[in-house]
Amino acid sequence: MRSETIFTIFLLVISIVGLFTSLKLDIIHRGGEMGPGFLPLVLSSLLIVLILVYLFSNLARFKNKSSSKKRENKIVYYPHIIFIFMLIISLALIPLFGMLVSLGIFSFVILLMIEKLTWYKSLIFSILLIIGIYFIFDFLLGMKIPGSELL
C-alpha cells in the first residue's frame, strides 16, 4: 500500500506541474480556435481529478483493512523505477528528437519491459501510436507537434 501511495502522489505532482505548464500556453486563439494549451489543460485537469479519486479510495480501503496483515517490505517496485526513469529520459529527449520520437521510445520501452510484450509487438504498437497521434494533432486538430533540433 505504501509504495502505491507514493507512486500515486508522484503522478499527482507530475499532473499538477503539467497543469501549471499548460496555463502558460494559449488556451483559445482570438478566432475561437483551440490553442496549444487547451488539450494539456484538459488532460492534466482530468488526471488530477482521477488521481485524487483513486488516492482517496485507496486510503479509505486501507483504513478498513485489519492491521494484522503482513506489511509491505518494498517501498518502490522495479516497474515503478523503470517508469519514472523512462519518463525523465523521454522528457529530456523531447528537445533533441521531438515529441513523437520521444513518445515512441517511451512507449516501446514501457511495453517491452513492464508489460512484457515481445519486441516486435512493442515496436509495431509504438509506431502505430506515433502515426495515430500525428494524424490526430496535425490533420484533425491542425496543431503542430513540437519538433526537434536534429530531425
pLDDT at residue 66, rounded to an integer: 47
Report the distance separating Cα 25 and Cα 41, nearest Å. 9
Statement: residue 7 has pLDDT above 70: yes
Q: Considering only residues 147 and 136, tell me which one the structure prediction assigns the higher pLDDT.
A: 136
User: What's the mean pLDDT in 5-18?
Assistant: 89
pLDDT-based confidence at 75, cuts 50/70/90? low
Answer whether 132's CB lies under 8 Å from 120's CB. no
Handedness of CA 106, 109, 114, 115 (dihedral sign): positive
The model's pTM = 0.54
Cell of 150: 536534429
Statement: residue 151 has pLDDT above 70: no
